[in-house]
A and B are shown apart, each in its own frame.
Chain A
Amino acid sequence: GENVEQHPSTLSVQEGDSAVIKCTYSDSASNYFPWYKQELGKRPQLIIDIRSNVGEKKDQRIAVTLNKTAKHFSLHITETQPEDSAVYFCAAVNSGYALNFGKGTSLLVTP
């Protein structure tokens, strides 16, 4: 089955700096890669997603890049703000259309 690796597990940045979270996946058939933000005790919220026919997608301060050959995809957050602090999960869709999640990155943005 699909195996999704995510790094780093924790990330601390100063307000205004950029944050980058990286993921790799194992199933070359995976074609959909969403990123979720989860605050403590809350449901995961989809923040951005990318399909395998696209190499990059941007939405304001958030961007995702995909290297299908290397089976890597990354989340980039620019001009970070304290409210960006949360746990971020990458995921890849498997053959059954369920999502397999990475282990999460706890992002802390300090003022």
Chain B
Amino acid sequence: GAVVSQHPSRVICKSGTSVKIECRSLDFQATTMFWYRQFPKKSLMLMATSNEGSKATYEQGVEKDKFLINHASLTLSTLTVTSAHPEDSSFYICSAREGTANEKLFFGSGTQLSVL
């Protein structure tokens, strides 16, 4: 199956700093990528839909200025958590859909963010 690479797998940062997470589709072109957030023992909550070459679509309640998404190429989307605070600590995971009509989603390995 298709491979989605996510980096870094774990990051610890100080409150007030920004953190960038990368999501790459390794063997396919992803016109659309999705960013999810998962708290311990909870479900995956969709944060935003990232479309190559256009602005991301954010879900209700997700601050677009807080979680900056860039999808500049067909193989790379980035999520930047700006001015991170302890409440932003979570497991962030991206997923990518190959092509435009195939619903199968492939997930990255996730990034565990801990803000001190």
Contacts and interface: CB of A to CB of B under 8 A. Distances in A.
Contact of A89 (B43, B46, B57, B112): B43
A104 B43 contact: yes
B49 interface: yes
A54 to B, nearest CB: 14
- Chain A binding surface, main DSSP class: strand
B32 A99 contact: no
- Chain B binding surface, main DSSP class: strand
Interface in A17-43: 32, 34, 41-43
Contacts of A46: 1, 104-106
A76 interface: no
Interface in B1-21: 1
A98 B109 contact: no
B4 to A, nearest CB: 8
Interface of B: 1, 32, 34, 41-46, 49, 57, 93, 95, 97, 103-110, 112
